[in-house]
Amino acid sequence: MSDIKSKFIREYQRKSKSPWSDHCTILLLADYQLEDDNEFELIFTRYIYQHRDSAGRIFGISISKSILEEHTELDSQYLTGIDMYIVLLLLKEDIAAFCELFKEEFENIYGLPPVAYFEAAELLWADKIIEDEPQ
């Protein structure tokens, strides 16, 4: 296992501020700035984290205040269920493009490259939203 700290996945060293008993987060979206040496610096003005327990199960996502302000129908930075799926669908293209920066790590975690994963996930998330609509 590499001792290099990942920018993509973070295992907590202390208790999370989230409402969940999460063990780690996966960064799904952040702004970034390209550096001269083909590296990039993350900028956390607009971000999405996926929160997971120690077994890898997803609790939900947390979004930045700027994303929350873009979507006034949301009432919290911590999202689960339909609200989570809606945000993920709305920002799917941005998320997939960002995750390409961590393509190898992403594929090691999800089993597919980002673009393929999000194309497949889009169908499932849309179905979940449709199923939740009142008949």
Instruction: Tell me the residue type at 97.
Output: A
Residue 1 lies in a domain: no
pLDDT digits (tens, 9 = 90+) for 29-57: 999 988 877 788 899 999 999 999 999 99
Identify whether 20 is part of a domain.
yes
What is the percent of the chain where pLDDT is above 70? Answer: 90
DSSP code of residue 36: T
- Which 3 state secondary structure label does DSSP give 60? strand
Q: Domain limits at 44?
A: 9-132
Which of the four pLDDT bands, split at 50, 70 and 90, describes residue 11? Answer: confident
Q: What is the pLDDT of residues 100-124, one digit of tens each?
A: 999 999 999 999 999 999 999 999 9
Are the CB atoms for 62 and 79 separated by under 8 Å? Answer: yes
Confirm whether 100 is domain-assigned: yes
Domain assignment present for residue 27? The answer is yes
Kindly state the greatest CA–CA separation across the chain: 55
Quick check: is 94 in a domain?
yes
Q: Note whether residue 36 is domain-resident.
A: yes
What amino acid is encoded at 134 in this protein?
A: P
| Domain contains 31 | yes
- In a domain? residue 2: no
Number of structural domains (the chain) is 1
